Amino acid sequence: MREKVGQLFMPTIPGSTPAQAAALVERYHLGGVIYFPVNLRTPRQTAELSNGLQKAAMKHGGVPLVISTDEEQGPVSRLPYITRFPANKSLASGRHPDDNVRTAARVTGEELRAVGINQDNAPDADVNINPNNPVIGVRSFGADPEKVAHFVGVAIDAYRATGVAVVAKHFPGHGDTATDSHTGLPIIDHSRATWERVDAPPFKAAVEHDADVIMTAHIVVPGLDKSRLPATMSKTVLGGLLRGTLGYRGVIITDSLQMAGATIKFGPEEAAVRAVVAGADMLLMPRNLGRAYNAVLAAVKSGRISQSRLDDAVTHILHMKYERGMFRSPYVDAAKASHVIGSKEHREAARKVAADVRSGG
């Protein structure tokens, strides 16, 4: 049971060497980790960190880690050495937008994979119809639902071709908010009909293009769930809409549980438990890993989180790891990482995309 519960967690890790983080992986039987700049110094160092963490995970149970990061390009970029591309809005506004989106996702995926990062928390699937949106903005492909849906599909296909798992975000749609869910709990007044017309198309595309993971949003949409629960903790949104209406069968992961939108109604541990009960499979960045882990474990033991709900979550996670080749190839060649990152071909590809974006704008 403890190993199953551990698979649900994807926390941040300390430091930039395996020795500093391996103990967490082993102690909690973690399903994944997420990298931030503090963990990332050079391509070779990152690859060695990834290999060390995978070794720790495989030593106890033989289940590889999901190693993720937020590498959307544009304003949300974690790897200090990665080949840089413009934000999604710019990619989609060039003269050859499909090629731009495809190239950015391909190069990004290849470079992430070279350093042992096997999941990118991208692309953003929000339709940014609110020009005052403080958190999405240029991260979105735009304000046209059908165009955003198209580019989400293009990006997913390109990422998946590199072997990197894809995360479409933030369900049910963070594009019409005036509040940042990092600092508050946004309320969106979309009706069900408006949601189906505006917010749903990119997520339908994500499902159709086999997105490995879909990330939830810490937002309230009364038109979708009268309980006014944050979507991350809503059975109606995660089970009824995402699993039911859209027919999604992949992994559901929460947005960061350190964000105010996740904890403004409930404490950090209660938020984690409620998210799993609602249908989330993985819990991203709990504020305190030990407390959140113990809270979820206690909820399973008490029956508040049913054994079948836990088994479903773990099954989704293990299936994704198998399908994306994480069991088959958990390690990377650290010596080759620096030859992939910023290669001549990648730099030239980035130059062409930047030129196309400038000419199109």
Q: Could you tell me if 142 and 191 are in contact, meaning their C-beta atoms sit under 8 angstroms apart?
A: no
Q: Distance (Å, rounded) from C-alpha 4 to C-alpha 30?
A: 9
Specify whether 182 is catalytic.
Answer: yes
- Residues contacting 31, CB < 8 A, separation 6+: 6, 7, 8, 9, 10, 63, 65, 66, 282, 317
Q: Distance (Å, rounded) from C-alpha 233 to C-alpha 189?
A: 18
Beta-bridge partner residues of 282: 253
Q: Distance (Å, rounded) from C-alpha 352 to C-alpha 153?
A: 22
Q: Distance (Å, rounded) from C-alpha 28 to C-alpha 89?
A: 39
Residue 165 phi/psi, 5-degree rounding, is -70, 150
Residue of 255, 281, 316, 346 marked active site: 255
User: Rounded to the nearest 10 degrees, what angle do helices 268-278 and 307-323 cross at?
Assistant: 80
Q: Distance (Å, rounded) from C-alpha 170 to C-alpha 207?
A: 13
- Cα distances (angstroms) measured from residue 268 to each of 218, 277, 287: 13, 15, 7
Other beta carbons less than 10 A from residue 41's beta carbon: 14
Task: Cite the beta strand spans of the chain per DSSP E.
Answer: 9-10, 32-35, 66-69, 119-120, 165-171, 213-216, 251-253, 283-284
Residue of 182, 210, 312, 319 marked active site: 182
Specify whether 255 is catalytic.
Answer: yes
- Residues contacting 294, CB < 8 A, separation 6+: 269
Q: Could you tell me if 102 and 158 are in contact, meaning their C-beta atoms sit under 8 angstroms apart?
A: yes
- State whether residue 162 is helix, strand or coil: coil
- State whether residue 57 is helix, strand or coil: helix
Side chain identity, residue 295: A
Q: Could you tell me if 22 and 52 are in contact, meaning their C-beta atoms sit under 8 angstroms apart?
A: yes
Q: Which residues are catalytic?
A: 182, 255
